[in-house]
Amino acid sequence: MEKITVLGAGSWGTALALVLSDNGHVVRLWGHRKEHIESIQLSRVNEKYLPNVKLPKNIEAIASLPEAVENINTIVLAVPTKAIREVLRQLQHHLTQPVLLIHVSKGIEPDTLKRISEMIEEEMREDLLEDVVVLSGPSHAEEVSLRQPTTVTSSSKNMKAAEYVQDLFINQYFRVYTNPDVVGVEIGGALKNIIALAAGISDGLGYGDNAKAALMTRGLAEIARIGSKMGANPLTFSGLTGIGDLIVTCTSVHSRNWRAGNMLGKGQKLEEVLNQMGMVVEGVRTTKAAYQLAKKYDVKMPITMALYDVLFNGKHPKDVVESLMARGKTHEMEDLVNIMEGRAINNGNSL
Ligand SMILES: NC(=O)C1=CN([C@@H]2O[C@H](COP(=O)(O)OP(=O)(O)OC[C@H]3O[C@@H](n4cnc5c(N)ncnc54)[C@H](OP(=O)(O)O)[C@@H]3O)[C@@H](O)[C@H]2O)C=CC1
Ligand SMILES: O=C(CO)COP(=O)(O)O
């Protein structure tokens, strides 16, 4: 039995607190808004983010960060990508010993183009950071909190730490695998949100399953192409944090990215969609980051570019679909064969 603190009292932080509590651990769930935490303390329910589940006694909701991390050496970081640096800066003031940081966020920081574990290593004082582990995979909070079968992957530069996290979380409904490819796991988790937004737009426009299958398949090719250039093992993209997470996010009504895309496809404006959602839609910021990554690494990412035009250049989704379909002819597998065989990627026409 361990004492573990979860930072971030949103959907995913709360669902993971439930998994840890089911495994017999004592969990502190920290949230930054006092009134939100007080309402959880009062009702034992996280009304805003996970209204159907009552929290058991071994989850303590806490609004004070120093209290939440006192005498703790394992922390789950479950806030949106854009809040990571701010939370880490606050956290360090209150740590008196090194901690294992388990991050579960799916994003890439625009401009710096850092992955989450890179942001953590940059922000944390070395003497306060034992290891960084990423836990990622096809896992909607709504289903995990109902104890429905779910599989995820634990990844770290230090495989002992990844295995420790596997042991903390694994149980009869939450199966945890390990994978040493941190870059692939983080890139797959972040970039699938872009494709989920595009799949939602396609559904919102009234296109059918053919279009969605095309987006998912060619989206994965795009993710594998940039991921491999960034140092990922291409095989990771055929696993849980690649195609697995792509499937669940592009096809589930639980996905905020798919739902946001769906509203955009039906003609709503980005700002009103994000306001309506009330929860994080990571794919929007990640599209900006991926657009910059494609330029930096000189990798063709046509779906990402098309989505960027819809989100940030006011292009109509139907027009970008037309442009995508009208591109020059190409060989389907050429890039992937090159990636698998470790050859240089052809950036010409094979898209
Ligand atoms: N939901 C899911 O099923 C899954 C989510 N993820 C990933 O987990 C991460 C978190 O997502 P999720 O929990 O779903 O998001 P939610 O939108 O459900 O919740 C986000 C939580 O973070 C809090 N927060 C926002 N900014 C800050 C800040 N500056 N300091 C402290 N807390 C802050 C929010 O507080 P407030 O209420 O004040 O806004 C809220 O409690 C994302 O990267 C997501 O991609 C990964 C797998 C599954
Ligand atoms: O990452 C997720 C499922 O694996 C959650 O996706 P959304 O953020 O789109 O809801």
Task: State in Å: Cα 90 to ligand 1 middle.
Answer: 17
> Measuring CA to CA, how many Å separate 103 from each of 183, 201, 272?
13, 29, 29
Show me where the domains of the chain are located. 3-180, 183-340
DSSP-assigned states of every residue in 246-308:
HHHHHH-TT-HHHHHHHHHHTT--HHHHHHHH-S--HHHHHHHHHHHHHHHHT---HHHHHHH
For domain 183-340, the CATH architecture is Orthogonal Bundle (1.10)
Give residue 256's pLDDT.
Answer: 97
Helix orientation angle between 209-229 and 302-312, rounded to the nearest 10 degrees? 110
Tell whether 12 is in a known binding site.
yes
**Is 192 considered catalytic here?**
yes
Give residue 214's pLDDT.
Answer: 97
Give residue 332's pLDDT.
Answer: 86
Return d(Cα 162, Cα 148) in angstroms, integer: 23
Ligand 1 touching residue 10 (CB < 6 A): yes
pTM of the model: 0.96
Task: State in Å: Cα 62 to ligand 1 middle.
Answer: 16
Tell whether 63 is in a known binding site.
no
Task: State in Å: Cα 280 to ligand 1 middle.
Answer: 6
Return d(Cα 50, Cα 254) in angstroms, integer: 12
Tell whether 137 is in a known binding site.
yes
Give residue 342's pLDDT.
Answer: 63
Of 308, 305, 310, nearest to 269 by C-alpha is 310
164-167 long-range CB contacts below 8 Å, 24 or more apart? Answer: 164/100, 164/133, 165/100, 165/102, 165/133, 165/135
Give residue 187's pLDDT.
Answer: 98
Residue nearest to atom 35 of ligand 1 (CA): 10
Instruction: For residue 105, give the ligand 1 atom closest to its CA.
Output: 43
Question: Which residue do the tokens 């690649």 mark?
Answer: 242
CA atoms within 13 A on the CB side of 100: 21
Question: Which residue do the tokens 């042991």 mark?
Answer: 167
Tell whether 49 is in a known binding site.
yes
Residue nearest to atom 10 of ligand 2 (CA): 255
Written as six digits, the tokens of 176 are 């945890």
Give residue 347's pLDDT.
Answer: 42
DSSP-assigned states of every residue in 161-224:
HHHHHHHHH--SSEEEEE-S-HHHHHHHHHHHHHHHHHHHHHHHHT--HHHHHHHHHHHHHHHH
Give residue 351's pLDDT.
Answer: 41
Rg, the chain, Cα only: 20
Instruction: For residue 279, give the ligand 1 atom closest to its CA.
Output: 17
Pocket of ligand 2 (CB under 6 A): 106, 138-140, 193, 196, 245, 248-249, 254-257, 282
Residues in the chain: 351
Return d(Cα 133, Cα 163) in angstroms, integer: 10
| Active-site residue (options: 192, 212, 229, 300) | 192
Find out whether 140 and 248 touch, Cβ atoms under 8 Å.
Answer: yes
Tens-digit pLDDT profile for residues 315-330: 999 999 999 999 999 8
For a mutational test of ligand 2's pocket, the pick from 105, 191, 245, i.e. the residue with the most ligand atoms closer than 8 A to its C-beta, is: 245
Instruction: For residue 106, give the ligand 2 atom closest to its CA.
Output: 1
CATH of domain 3-180: 3.40.50.720
Tens of each residue's pLDDT in the chain, 351 residues: 899 999 999 999 999 999 999 999 999 999 999 999 999 999 999 999 999 999 999 999 999 999 999 999 999 999 999 999 999 999 999 999 999 999 999 999 999 999 999 999 999 999 999 999 999 999 999 999 999 999 999 999 999 999 999 999 999 999 999 999 999 999 999 999 999 999 999 999 999 999 999 999 999 999 999 999 999 999 999 999 999 999 999 999 999 999 999 999 999 999 999 999 999 999 999 999 999 999 999 999 999 999 999 999 999 999 999 999 999 998 888 666 666 666 554 443 334
